[in-house]
Amino acid sequence: MADVALQGGAVVASKQTDRSQVLRRLQVHDAAFRGLTRAAAIAVLLILGGIIVSLIHGSWPALRTFGFSFFVTESWNPVTNRFGAVAPVYGTIVTSLIAMLIAVPVGLFIAMFLTELCPMWLRRPVGIAIELLAGIPSIIYGIWGLFVFAPFLQQHVQPAIIAAFGNIPVLSSLFAGPPYGIGILTAGLILAIMVLPFITSISRDVFEAVPAVLKEASYGLGCTTWEVMRHVVLPYTRVGVIGAVMLALGRALGETMAVTFVIGNAHRVAPSLFAPGTTISATIANEFTEAVGDLYTSSLIALGLILFVITFIVLAAARYMLLRLDARTGS
């Protein structure tokens, strides 16, 4: 009996030892996982801080030389070392606004069609086509825009718009000038095509995540499809939709090659959307390899800093909008 008791005690002690070892191993794994995740988060902050410091350091000679006039001057002359950021900033903002004004409603309507109205046999081909648009390289969009889309606009679209709005006071200036084909409007349209898949794909995914009981209850009350999408689906998925729009806007603000092909690369601000222009990304891509002198290079880096600030302001505004929406919903 004593031997049996000793054996039983040894077994219990062995099990307790094994359990303590397992717990110790799990604690080590958990500590390692916590350390890795913290290191990843800190690495992101360090990289972002390094980018900001590098941009400020690289742009400081230009900002010190030109001061505030760098932000309000249109002139960009490498020969005389006179640089101003107005034309690239203007082109960046206007082309992005044109792209979002077209892509946001079209993308949302396509997502609504795919989730609520599209037949099952057509849903997959349309979805695959949209995803393929997102995978096309930007250089392909630029080549297609320069050799196919811009000539089409020059021959058929822009002359008709000029003739239609020629006698209307504001629109006559907005759509004035010879039909070059390339220009601010063409770049905005190309950007709209490029960002459309991002808005559509993400919006479709968040629309499909809406609980079916909410939509069925709305249809049971007699709501139309538009009323269900407007009053049920969009409020429920507003965070995802705004995220899709912000992602598309970030892509539009920073797009380089496609815009470089079709915008005309002219450092001037013209009231007409048909006139050639430039953007921050196009200016940096075109001139950085040819920049001679510290002031020229610093001016290009300063443009990159301005683009970074614009993107930060856009993201901050989107975050503030989401906070306001959450507060309104909570109240």
pLDDT at residue 216, as a whole number: 86
CATH number at residue 221: 1.10.3720.10
Contacts of 141 (CB under 8 A, 6+ apart): 190, 193, 194, 257, 258
Q: Binning pLDDT at 50, 70 and 90, where does residue 67 land?
A: confident
Q: What is the pLDDT of residues 140-153, one digit of tens each?
A: 999 999 999 999 99
For residue 3, pLDDT beyond 60: no
Question: What confidence tens digit (pLDDT) does each residue in 158-179 have?
Answer: 999 988 887 888 888 888 888 8
21 within some domain: no
Residue 8 included in any domain: no
Answer yes or no: is 56 within a domain: no
CA–CA separation, 277 and 260 (whole Å): 10
What tokens were used for 66?
A: 């030109």
Share of the chain above pLDDT 70, in %: 93
User: Average per-residue pLDDT in the chain?
Assistant: 87
> Number of folded domains in the chain?
1
Q: Which whole number is the average pLDDT over 129-150? A: 89
Q: Which residues contact 96 (CB under 8 A, 6 or more apart)?
A: 188, 191, 249, 252, 253
Residue with tokens 């009981």: 213
* Structural domain boundaries, residue 75: 69-330
| pLDDT tens-place string over residues 195-216 | 999 999 889 989 988 888 888 8
Residue 77: in which H helix or E strand, if any? strand 76-77
Say if 253 falls within a structural domain: yes
Q: Does the pLDDT of residue 119 top 70, yes or no? A: yes
Predicted model pTM: 0.86
The span from the CA of 74 to the CA of 83, in Å, is 8
| Residue 82 scores a pLDDT above 80 | yes
Within-domain flag for 97: yes
The one-letter amino acid code at 243 reads G
pLDDT for 282-323, tens place per residue? 999 888 888 888 899 999 999 999 999 998 888 888 888 777
Q: Answer whether 280's CB lies under 8 Å from 303's CB.
A: yes
Is 49 a member of any domain? Answer: no
pLDDT tens for residues 89-101?
Answer: 999 999 999 999 9
pLDDT of residue 12: 55
Cβ(260)–Cβ(239) below 8 Å: no
In a domain, 242, yes or no: yes
Task: Give the pLDDT of residue 6.
Answer: 47
Residue 120 makes CB contacts below 8 A (sequence gap 6+) with none
Rounded Cα gap, residues 210 and 113, in angstroms? 15
Highest mean pLDDT among 5-14, 48-57, 245-254: 48-57
